[in-house]
Amino acid sequence: MGLTLLPEDIILNVFKNLSNPQSFSQASRHLYGLSKEPRFKAHWLVHHFGPRYALYYAILRMPHLCNDALLSTLVNCGAIVPRYLVQMIVQSYNGPRRYSTDIDSTSTPLDDATSRLPFTGYAYIVSHAWRHYGDIWDARQANDFSLFIKYAGYRDPEYRNMDLLKELIHTYGFIPVPLPGAPVMRNIILLARDEPAIFAHFSVPFRCDRLVRKRTWESVLLFIATYTSEPREPDRRALLFSAINRCLGEGPLEFDDKAVFKTTFVDTFSKQREEHPIMAILKQVCEEVTLTFSIVEAAREILEARNLGWYINTQLAGFLGLERVERIGDGMELTAGNRGNNSARSNGMWAWS
């Protein structure tokens, strides 16, 4: 009861600092009413995700509420309207009719969210972008993520241009989400290695976006696989792991990183045709990467699933220091003497002893 008697500005400061304000808003009718106001929502979004990402996550998390009133309040609270986000919204927006029909299996989370945007919210975004950027496309109709890849120069050093890259970030508010379908996370990790000050503008999605986190872990595992197979200079190796830790940060805000790692590990190595040195990769992760979970515990839980095939299971067992792995059903043991036996390669169930 006492909290409701406080000035609204004090209540607002309490509200915006909550990781999840839902319980707070249910404490009384007065607080519930305040929590529904655009001002309270906007301050929470800007404080939680930062000015650069507040609009993106507002649309992704609460698209049906993103009318012109909320979005204009967001901008007044300091939120940036990234040109790349506008480009993706313009490409995705089909109005409410799309949401009322079957969703295309190839649609992205942003596609689904923009289909639920009120028209006033969509109109506000387009109008704001026109006033600030003019035409949102460059002369070649390339979107800003394509320009980011181009100016970063990791695919073609000839086009590397840090001045244009900084302009993309500071003038046009570039954010690296939504991620395109193409493999791009490698470029961002390399940018974290070479230009940590620029990467600092991109850190938020790595901590609070499950899809970004999954794509990051996939690139990290394959990066380490390359460095394990082809040893590099110690200084370059140290820089790489510094960049990886910079990307992974201090752990995600809203999901279980171990669960994301396990899913990514299975998806990454079960579909790879080549046999990566998984035991060595896991040792490198354990020794060099700052984790919020136990890699040993994660590896054990993956192995307990027993559905990854002979090679991956024996690599996991080796990392865990297990003496042998048995195939349930015929009693075959995989020991140091018979791991190369092709007859042991099977889709059967596996257990360790």
Cα(189)–Cα(207) distance, integer angstroms: 14
Q: Which amino acid is at 10?
A: I
- Say if residue 69's pLDDT is above 80: yes
Contact 204, 53 (CB under 8 A): yes
Res 343 pLDDT > 80: no
Q: Residue 351 pLDDT > 50, yes or no?
A: no
More confident residue, 328 or 44: 44
Question: Helix count (H) and strand count (E) of the chain?
Answer: 21, 3
Which 3 state secondary structure label does DSSP give 299? helix
Residue with tokens 């027993």: 306
pLDDT value of residue 323? 58
Q: Contact, 212 vs 179, CB < 8 A? A: yes
Q: What is the predicted pLDDT for the residue at 205?
A: 94
The DSSP letter of residue 309 is -
DSSP string, 85-125: HHHHHHHH---HHHHTSPPPTT--HHHHHHTTS-HHHHHHH
Contacts of 104 (CB under 8 A, 6+ apart): 111
Q: What is the pLDDT of residue 190?
A: 93
pLDDT tens digits, one per residue of 183-202:
899 999 999 999 999 999 99
Please check whether residue 353 is in contact with residue 323, taking contact to mean a CB–CB distance below 8 angstroms: yes
What is the enclosing helix (H) or strand (E) of 197?
helix 196-199
What does the pLDDT look like over 291-324, one tens digit per residue? Answer: 989 999 999 999 988 678 888 988 999 999 985 5
Closest by Cα among 16, 25, 112, 31 to 64: 112
Buried b (16+ CB within 10 A) or exposed e, 195-209: eeebbebbbbbbbbb
With residues binned 3-state (H G I as helix, E B as strand, rest as coil), the percentages for the chain, rounded to 5, are 60, 0, 35
Distance between CA atoms of residues 57 and 298, nearest Å: 29
- Residue type present at position 79: A
Predicted confidence at residue 22, as pLDDT, reads 83
Q: How far apart (Å, rounded) are the C-alpha atoms in residues 147 and 144?
A: 5
Q: Tens digits of per-residue pLDDT, 6-34? A: 888 898 999 999 988 888 888 888 888 88
Residue boundaries of the structural domains of the chain? 202-330
DSSP secondary structure, 167-190, as one string: HHHHTT-----SPPSS--HHHHHH
- Distance between terminal CA atoms of the chain? 60
Model confidence pLDDT, tens digit, residues 70-123:
999 999 999 999 999 999 999 998 766 554 445 555 788 999 999 999 999 999
**Which residues face 350 on adjacent strands?**
327
Count other Cβ atoms within 10 Å, centred on residue 323.
11
pLDDT confidence tier of residue 178, bands split at 50, 70 and 90:
very high
Q: State the Cα–Cα distance between residues 329 and 39, nearest whole angstrom.
A: 63
Kindly report the pTM of this predicted structure: 0.85
CA distance linking residue 241 with residue 301, whole number of Å: 25
Rounded to the nearest 5°, which phi and psi values hold at 295?
-65, -30
At 130, the pLDDT band (50, 70, 90 cuts) reads: very high
